[in-house]
Amino acid sequence: MIIILTFSFILISFFSAFSQDKFPESWLGIYQGDMYILRANSEKIDTVAVTFEFLATQNAKRWTYRMTYKSPKYGDIVKDYELIKPDSLAKNSYLLDEKDGIYIEDVLIGNTLYSTFSVAGSRLSSTLRKDGNELFFEIFSSKDKSTLTSKNKADKPENVLEIESFAPLTTQFVRFKKIK
């Protein structure tokens, strides 16, 4: 039974490695979609049309990472960033350069870029996942201060774990379809 499970795991790992899209080359392009912004109670705050440009640059370790939000309330909002691959980071780690001194580390796991960061009392986590010719982007926020702390019951004091929970407050998500 253990041999069958081990062999199955090896096969799944082997085929998963080859089914993943090459990053970032196969992700490059121009995408469009509607971003939905919701509160924790599922109340819709807004819907905004978004164009995402993920493009090669002259530098083989830098890519344009530009989102343009077409907001009826606020007009066009452009977040013109770059994704960079410094030699000093691990193989699957990148930096999102906001071009104003702010850098956010992104880590590629499978076909998804993940990041978590804090700003102005909020904790944010984002994902950008590729599936076929579509990209799925989501960012959700919570307060940077835990909303709940609890401990497990254990036989020995050294086995007690304190867990802090950070309840999500809002989410923004978009399904991008490749247009170029």
DSSP labels, 56-68: E-SSTTEEEEEEE
Specify if 74 maps to a domain: yes
Specify if 8 maps to a domain: no
In this prediction, residue 132 has a pLDDT band, given cuts at 50, 70 and 90, of very high
In this prediction, residue 42 has a pLDDT band, given cuts at 50, 70 and 90, of confident
Is the pLDDT at 33 greater than 90? The verdict is yes
Task: Report pTM.
Answer: 0.83
Specify if 12 maps to a domain: no
pLDDT for residue 3: 47
CB 173 within 8 A of CB 138: yes
Residue 97 belongs to domain spanning:
22-178
pLDDT for residue 20: 54
Specify if 65 maps to a domain: yes
Specify if 1 maps to a domain: no
Interacting residues of 165 by C-beta distance below 8 A, sequence separation 6+: 146, 147, 148, 149, 150
Specify if 76 maps to a domain: yes
The CATH number of the domain where 64 resides is what? 2.40.128.20
Rounded average pLDDT over 47-60: 97
Specify if 90 maps to a domain: yes
Interacting residues of 138 by C-beta distance below 8 A, sequence separation 6+: 126, 127, 171, 172, 173, 174
Is the pLDDT at 11 greater than 80? The verdict is no
Give residue 135's identity as a one-letter amino acid code.
L
How many domains does the structure of the chain reveal?
Answer: 1
> Dihedrals φ, ψ of 31, to 5°?
-125, 155
Is the pLDDT at 92 greater than 90? The verdict is yes
Quick one: CA dihedral 162, 167, 171, 173, positive or negative? positive
Specify if 38 maps to a domain: yes
